[in-house]
Structure 1
Amino acid sequence: MNLFTDIHTLVVDSLVALVAEGILPEGLDFANVAVEPPRDAAHGDMATNAAMVLAKPAKMKPRDIATALADKLAADPRVTGAEVAGPGFLNVRLEASVWQDVLGKALAASSNFGRSDLGAGKRVNVEYVSANPTGPLHVGHTRGAVFGDALSSLLDFVGYDVTREYYINDGGAQVDVLARSCYLRYLEAHGQSVEFPDGTYPADYLKPVGEALKEKYGDQYVGQPEEAWLVEFRVFATEAMMDLIREDLALLNIEMDHFFSEKSLYGTGKIEDALKRLDGKGLIYRGVLEPPKGKKPDDWEPREQTLFKSTDHGDDVDRAVQKSDGSWTYFAPDIAYHNDKIERGFDGLINIFGADHGGYVKRMKAAVSALSDGKVPLDIKLCQLVKLFKDGAEFKMSKRAGTFVTLRDVVDAVGADVTRFMLLTRKNDQGFDFDLDKALEQSKDNPVFYVQYANARICSTLRKAAAQGIEATEGALAAADLSLLSHDAQLTVARKVAEWPRLVEIAARSNEPHRVAFYLYDLASELHGLYHLGKTDESLRFVNESSQSATHANLALAKAVSVVISAGLGILGVKPAEEMR
Structure 2
Amino acid sequence: MNLFDEFRAAVLAALDTLEAEGMLPAGLDRSNIAVEPPRDAAHGDMATNAAMVLAKPAGKAPRVIAEALAAKLAADPRIASADVAGPGFLNLRLSPDVWQAQIAVILKAGADYGRSTVGQGRKVNVEFVSANPTGPMHVGHVRGAVVGDALSNLLAFAGWDVTREYYINDGGAQVDVLARSAFERYREAHGLSPEIREGLYPGDYLIPVGEALKEKYGDTLLDKGEQYWLAEVRDFASDMMMQMIREDLASLGVSMDVYSSEKALYGTGKIEAALTELRSRGLIYEGVLEPPKGKTPEDWEPREQTLFRSTAHGDDVDRPVMKSDGSWTYFAPDIAYHYDKVKRGFDELIDIFGADHGGYVKRMKAAVAALSDGKVPLDIKLIQLVKLWKNGEPFKMSKRAGTFVTLRDVVELAGADVTRFIMLIRKNDVALDFDFDKVLEQSKDNPVFYVQYANARVHSVLRKAADSGVAVDDAALTGADVSLLAHPAELAMIAKLAEWPRLVDIAARANEPHRVAFYLYELASDFHGLWNRGNDEPSLRFVQEDPAQTQAKIALVRATGVVIRAGLAILGVKPVEEMR
Verify same fold: TM over 0.5.
yes
Counterpart in the other structure of 2:424:
424
Query: Are the equivalent residues in 1 in contact too, given 2:304–2:324 (CA < 8 A)?
Result: yes
What's the counterpart of residue 554 of structure 1? 553
Partner of 1:36: 36
Residues 397 and 439 of structure 1: CA distance in aligned 2, closer, same or farther (over 3 Å): farther
SS at match of 1:286: strand
Give the distance between the partners of 2:420 and 2:562, measured in 1 at CA.
Answer: 20
**Which residue does the alignment assign to 1:119?**
119
Q: CA deviation at 1:398?
A: 3.1
1:223 is paired with a residue whose SS is coil
Superposition pairs for residues 313-328 of structure 1, below 5 Å?
A: 313-328=313-328
Q: CA deviation at 1:52?
A: 1.0
SS class of match (1:126): strand
Q: Which moved more, 1:214-223 or 1:528-537?
A: 528-537
Structure 2 match to 1:446:
446
Partner residue in 1 for 2:63: 63
Partner of 1:237: 237
The answer for the alignment partner of 2:516 in structure 1 is: 516
Q: Residue type of the partner of 1:557?
A: L
Tell me whether 1:148 sits opposite 2:176 in the alignment.
no
Q: Is the 8 A contact 1:385 1:431 kept in 2?
A: yes
Deviates more, 1:11-20 or 1:466-475: 466-475
Structure 1 SS opposite 2:381: strand
Q: Is the 8 A contact 1:397 1:409 kept in 2?
A: no
Q: CA deviation at 1:305?
A: 1.1
Shift of 1:60: 1.1
Q: 1:353 aligns to what SS in structure 2? A: strand
Cα distance in structure 1, aligned partners of 2:353 and 2:200 = 24
Cα distance in 1, alignment partners of residues 482 and 175 from structure 2 = 63
The answer to whether residue 99 in structure 2 is matched with residue 99 in structure 1 is yes
Task: Return the offset for 1:164.
Answer: 0.1
Q: CA deviation at 1:397?
A: 4.6
The one-letter code of the counterpart of 1:563 is V
1:226 is matched by which residue type in structure 2?
A: E
Deviations 1:187-241 (A, max 9, x none): 0000001221111101101001001100111001012100111011000000000
> Deviation string for 1:354-409 (max 9, x for gaps)?
00000000000000000001000000000000001223332225332111111111
C-alpha contact (below 8 Å) 1:365/1:378 kept by paired residues? yes
Deviations 1:131-171 (A, max 9, x none): 00000000001000000000000000010000000000000
The answer (yes or no) to whether the contact 2:128–2:166 under 8 Å persists in 1 is yes
Contact 2:103 / 2:478 at 8 angstroms: preserved in 1?
no
Structure 1 position 295 matched with structure 2 position 273: no
Per the alignment, residue 190 of structure 1 pairs with: 190
Aligned-partner SS, 2:387: strand
Distance 1:63 1:359 in 2: 46
Alignment of structure 1 residues 260-271 onto 2, 5 Å:
260-271=260-271
1:463-478 maps to which residues of 2 (within 5 A)? 463-478=463-478
Equivalent in the alignment of 1:461: 461
Q: Is the 8 A contact 1:539 1:550 kept in 2?
A: no
Alignment of 1:195-210 (within 5 A): 195-210=195-210
What is the one-letter code of the residue matched to 1:89?
F
Provide, for residues 506-548 of structure 1, a one-character-per-residue CA deviation record: whole Å limited to 9, x for no partner: 000100000000000011111111111112222211111x111
The secondary structure found in structure 1 opposite 2:459 is helix
Correspondence for 2:409: 409
User: 2: CA distance between counterparts of 1:142 and 1:298?
Assistant: 43
Measured after TM superposition, the shift of residue 87 of structure 1 is 1.1
- Which one-letter code corresponds to 1:36 in the other structure? E
Q: Is 1:573–2:565 an aligned residue pair?
A: no
CA distance in 2, matches of 1:27, 1:285: 46
Deviation track 1:383-438 (CA, whole Å, cap 9, x = no partner) reads 00000122333222533211111111111111000000001000000011111111
The DSSP-based 3-state class of the residue aligned with 1:152 is helix
Question: For residues 573 and 321 of structure 1, what CA distance do their matches in structure 2 show?
Answer: 39
One-letter amino acid of the counterpart of residue 550, structure 2: T
Distance 1:480 1:537 in 2: 22
Q: In structure 2, how many angstroms separate the alpha carbons of the residues matched to 1:277 and 1:397?
A: 46
Q: How many residues align?
A: 580
For the residues of structure 1 that align with 2:120 and 2:27, how far apart are their CA atoms? 29
- Find the aligned partners of 1:104 and 1:455 in 2 and give their Cα distance: 19
Secondary structure, in 3 states, of the residue corresponding to 2:215? helix
Residue 570 of structure 1 and its aligned partner are, at CA, apart by 0.4
1:220 aligned counterpart, secondary structure: coil
Pick which of 196-205 and 129-138 moved more. Answer: 196-205
Report the AA paired with residue 88 of structure 1.
Answer: G
What's the CA shift string for 1:337-358, capped at 9, x where partnerless?
Answer: 0000000000000000000000
Paired AA for residue 497 in structure 2: V
Residue 356 of structure 2 corresponds to which residue in structure 1?
356
Mean Cα deviation higher: 42-51 or 528-537: 528-537
Shift of 1:76: 0.2
Change (3 A) 1:174 1:453: same
Does structure 1 residue 130 correspond to structure 2 residue 130? yes
Task: Give the whole-Å Cα distance in 2 for the aligned partners of 1:541 and 1:403.
Answer: 54
For residue 369 of structure 1, what is the aligned residue in structure 2? 369
Q: Secondary structure at the match of 2:536?
A: coil
Q: Which amino acid aligns with 2:549?
A: A
Secondary structure at 1:534's aligned position in 2?
Answer: helix
Mapped partners of 1:319, 1:213: distance in 2: 41
Q: 2:343 — aligned with what?
A: 343
| Whole-Å separation in 1 of the counterparts to 2:292 and 2:183 | 37
- Give me the whole-angstrom Cα distance separating, in 2, the residues matched to 1:490 and 1:444: 21
More deviation, 467-476/51-60: 467-476
Asked whether the equivalents of residues 74 and 82 of structure 1 are also in contact (C-alpha less than 8 Å), the reply is: yes
Distance 2:236 2:73 in 1: 69
One-letter amino acid of the structure 1 residue matched with residue 438 of structure 2: K
**CA–CA distance in 2 between the matches of 1:21 and 1:354?**
56
TM-score of the pair, normalised by structure 2: 0.99
- Secondary structure of the 2:320 match is strand
1:502 corresponding residue in structure 2: 502
- The 2-side partners of 1:38 and 1:83 are apart by 12
Deviations 1:107-134 (A, max 9, x none): 0000000011101100000000000000
Tell me, in whole angstroms, the C-alpha distance in 1 between the residues paired with 2:492 and 2:223. 75
* 2:397–2:403 Cα contact (<8 Å) kept: no
- Residues 78-133 of structure 1, C-alpha deviations (whole Å, 9 max, x = no match): 00000111111110000111111111101000000001110110000000000000
- Paired with 2:397 and 2:226, the residues of 1 have a C-alpha distance of 35
1:398 — aligned with what? Answer: 398
Structure 1 residue ranges (4+ consecutive) displaced by more than 4 angstroms after TM superposition: none
For structure 2, the residue ranges without an aligned partner over 5 or more in a row are none
In structure 2, the partner of 1:307 is 307
Identity of aligned residues (%): 70
Amino acid of the residue matched to residue 31 of structure 1? Answer: S
CA RMSD between the two structures: 0.9
Residue equivalent to 2:563 = 564
Deviation of 1:292 (Å): 1.9
Task: Determine the C-alpha separation between the residues in 2 that align with 1:571 and 1:41.
Answer: 27
SS of match in other structure, 1:535: helix
